Structure formats: structure tokens, C-alpha cells
Amino acid sequence: MAHPSEIRRIPFLVVVLTVLLWGMAAMAQPADSADEQAEAPEARPESATAEPEPAAPESPSSAGPDREALDEAKRLFLEGNALRKAGDCQRAVVKYRASRERVRSVANTQNAAVCLRDLGRADEALEMYEELLTAFSDDLSDEQRQVVSRESNALRAKVGAIDVIANVDGTVVVDGRSRGVLPLALPIRVMPGNHKVVVLAQGYSGFETSVEVKARQTVAVDATLEPLADAGQVSITDPSLEGAQVFVDGAPLGIVPWEGNLEPGTHRFFLRRGDEGSAPQAIDVVKGQRVQAKATLAPLGTDLRIEVTPSTAEIRIDGVAVGAGRWQGRLPLRSYEVVADEEGYVTATTTLKVDERTDRLSLELEVDEDHPRWQVPIPGGPWIEVLGGGLIAPSFGGQAESNCDFDICRDAVIGNGWVVMGRAGYEFPMGLSVMAGGGYMSAGRSFLVEYDNDSEESYDMTHEGPFGLVGVRQRFVFADLFETRLSYSVGVMGTSANAEIEGDDPEFGSFTDEEGGGGVNVFLMPEIQLGMRFSGFGVALGFATPLFLLGDPDAGDDDGDGFGGGLYGTFFAFLPSLSASYLF
């Protein structure tokens, strides 16, 4: 039979155990009671049953949490529930995560997952749900396990994953945020898009790469880190910062006072101590030198996400580069200048005021239409073109026309005529073409020469013939519709030249004569065309200046009619044109 004193102790022990169990059970609830706790979160409409009732919180480790850690975890958990009940899931997630840092349980893990899911952060929510199924599997009922599994499957359809392995153990940083320590138990869940992956390890050069991840896709990254050949030393020893956790390039490296060796170059660091911390700062590490890093701790805002479109745009906070496309973290309560830039886009700059409710900033960069990045690439392919135009020749450069330099010419008509031509070519990528073609041109002019002896002669001259040419052309496209073509050709023409002369001489009276000549001429022809293209069909206005290099081969056969210098010489002409073409 028990001693009476022992019997009296039994009620006291029962009371103590009851209070302890009540405290643990209160923390385990995913929502507050009617007096101080929110209702358990209901599942989304597509869920057939409500969220599972979590069991009492248990630490995954073999050693149970101490009383102080358990009380702090419960306090933060209840604060998170109050925020979630008020509709502030963003700040509630911060509290749940802080609770998990003290003691991880089904309750704070599940409520964090629900809030992250409702915030659209499917990758982070899935990590929480998967932890429920692994670390807390024994604490879930069959019904809870079914609901969590269903939520996990729904989220997997929305996210991708990055599976990282390396030749050394290190910290994996994705988009500037530490996501785990190698070897990873599971692939890192990420939202679809471009992500920057960094692997860091003490005594090794960092590994960095970018990967494009699609929904339901797992991308493998095999990182090879090389031992540091050169290093500089960084230390943080300010007594006011003692106990703060040190993050360098997104990876946790130690607690202040701290010192470590880093690869020479620019690094980014920040500090965290509870709900206080510093903003990201840049530090330049020099080989063989020691740098003393300084920072100031201040109260932090809630978890902040900065997202930029396009996802390759670089983000800078107060001039410090923090990554491309997206950044997530907490900043001290104050204002910041956030800049996002990417080649080919107009730089975006905004002032971000961080308070207790600032949780998201989205920036969308405008395309700089004039930037060379957006020049439309021109595919290769054959093309054909027909062209017609007028030919204007101030002179044919012949002997008779040169007489106008010494005598009086009147009733002079500038040489004019026409050109028809066909061309074909092959256009290489970026618009460069080789081409060949042929056609026919004809021009004529007339003038009257008055001599000092009162005699006069009228000339009616023609210059015509077929021609062939070869050349190159460069085509530039603007706004997917307009184009400019620059061409340079070398041609050969079979020239036929004729002149009809009528004269009146005081001594010999009236007379008529006709001269003919010609041969092979060579010409050079630069050309510019401005046009439009609809699909493969294009039209253009052009302007060319053919330069004819060879004179009349019959020059020198002077029979007294003034043509001893030939019917034509070296001359140039103007060729305005209209063309139609088709690019296959």
C-alpha cells in the first residue's frame, strides 16, 4: 500500500502533466481556438476534404527540444496563426518559418505550406508538403497523409526541379537564396523559368551556372569546384554584431565574430540575427589581403520577393547586384533604390519603401526597339527581281558634245531613255546577297551647235544595247516590314551608238549625214533601294548611278565630220527605278 504522502503527490503530478500536454497540444493545432486561435485552414475548392488536423509537434531529431525553444516556437506559431486569420499570409509565413527554426513540427510546417500555396509560391509550398510526408510521416493519420499527398501532386504539376551534385560538399544557392547543403536529400523545387545556380564550399572556387526549367521537368547540374589557388581574407568582428549569422553570396558561412578565405573578386554579404539584419552589401576581396567588413543591424521587414521580366534582367538594390530575374529575402525597414536592366531593354528604376507589409515588387522592362539586339535576323534563300526605270545622261562624252565647250550650243536636250532589267541572287543569313542579271538600256539626246562662221549643225544621238552584270547586295530590315538594299554591280554592255547630223554652211549649203559605231563597254553601278516586303513579295524605289568607263572604239577615225573623237566617251548617268521582287 502506498504511503499517504505519495498518494498526495499524485494529483500534483497529474496537474503538471496536464498543463505540459495542453501546451504542446495547443502549439500543434494548425489554427487558433475560438478565443485565441484561428480556425483550421480549409482546403481549396478542388480538395475533397479539409486540411488534415496536425498532430502534436515533435522534433525530427532524437533529442527533444528544450522548454525555452518549445515556448518560443509556440509563441511564433500563434502569432503566425493570428496573421493568417487577418489575411496576411505573407507575414504569417515569416512567423511559421521562425517557429520552425526553433522546433519543427507538423503544425508549423503544414501551416507554412498552406500559406505558401495560397501565395502562389508553389515551389516552396511543395518543399513543405514533402517534408510532412518524409520527416513527419509517422505523425500523420491516413486521412492527413492522403490530403497532403493530393496537395503535393497538384503542386508538382506547376513546378520543376534542379538536382545538384558536386565533387565536394557545399551549399547550394538558387537565385541568391540558400536552398540546401550537399548531398541533397531531394531535388530543389523551383518555379518554371531561368534560374541561377551557385555551389559554394569553403576553400574552393565557387561554381555558377544558369538553367532553364520547365514544369514537371528535373534539370541535373553536375558542379565541379576547384581548390582555391588564390584567396583574400574577410573578417567581421564588430562586438555590436556578435551572434549574427553571416551570409556570403547567399550561403550561410558562420556566426560573428567570423573570418574566412574567399576567392578574389566582388562578393555580396548580409547578416541576420533574429528579426534584425542588414541589407545586401558588396565587398571586394583582394588576393593576399584582409578586408574588415562592416554592417549595421536594423529591424527587418517581412519576406520580400522582387520579380523582373525578362527573367535574365540583373537586379540591383542600392547599387548592389543581387541576381537576375528574381530575388527573395528580408530587408531592413527603410527606402531603397531598385534598378533592373538587361541588354536591349530600357532600364527600370524605382524607389521601394520597405515596411512591415511590403512583400512583393514586380518590374517589367520595356523593349528598346532601337537596340541592335532586336535587328531582325534575315534567313537565307534565293530571290528574283524585275526592274524598270528611266535613264538620265547629261552627256555621252563624245567629240561632238565636246564642241560645246568652244562654240555655242542651244536647244540642247539632256540625254534620257529607259532601262529594263531582271536579276536573281542568293541571300545569305544577315541579308548579304550575290547576284547576276541582265537587261537592255536605251538613251538619246539632241543639240544644236553654232560656229563662228555662222554655220550650224544639229545632232540627234542614240546610245543603246543589251547588258549583263554581277554584284553583291546587302539588305537591312526595319520593323519587320520596311527594308533598305545597298548594291554594287559590275556590268558589260554591247553598245550601239548612232548620230544623225543636219547642217547649214554659208559656203557649202545644207547637208545631212549619219554616223554609227559602238563596241563593248564596261560600267560600274552603285545602287540604293528603299522598299517594303509583305511575306516574300517586295516592292522598292531605287536610285543608281552607272559609270561607263570605255569610249567609242572608232575614236580617231576622223573623216571631217567632227566625230574623230568618237560618238561617246567616259560618262555617267542617273537611273531612278521601280522594282518588284520575291524572296523564296
Class of the CATH domain delimited by 21-156: mainly alpha
pLDDT of residue 136: 92
Neighbouring-strand partners of residue 329: 304
Closest CA to 401 of 418, 414, 390: 414
Residue 300 DSSP class: B
Task: Write the CB contacts of 312 (distance below 8 Å, at least 6 apart in sequence).
Answer: 194, 324, 325, 342
pLDDT of residue 11: 43
User: 160-223 with 236-242+255-364: one CATH topology?
Assistant: yes
φ, ψ for residue 272, nearest 5 deg: -140, 135
- Per-block average pLDDT, block size 10, for the chain (584 residues)? 42 40 41 35 34 40 70 94 92 91 93 94 92 91 92 93 95 90 91 92 90 94 92 94 94 93 94 94 94 95 91 94 91 96 95 89 92 76 96 84 66 86 93 95 85 77 93 90 95 89 77 79 96 92 94 59 66 95 93
Does the domain made of 236-242+255-364 have the CATH classification 2.60.40?
A: yes
User: What DSSP string describes 7-21?
Assistant: HHHHHHHHHHHHHHH
Superfamily assignment of 160-223 in CATH?
Carboxypeptidase-like, regulatory domain (2.60.40.1120)
Closest CA to 263 of 284, 280, 282, 247: 284
Q: Which CATH architecture has domain 375-583?
A: Beta Barrel (2.40)
CA dihedral (339, 117, 32, 358) in degrees, to 10, reads: 10
Query: Could you tell me the residue ranges of all domains in the chain?
Result: 21-156, 160-223, 236-242+255-364, 375-583
Closest CA to 155 of 187, 117, 112: 117
Distance CA 113, CA 131 (A): 10
pLDDT of residue 122: 92
Closest CA to 54 of 75, 29, 32: 29
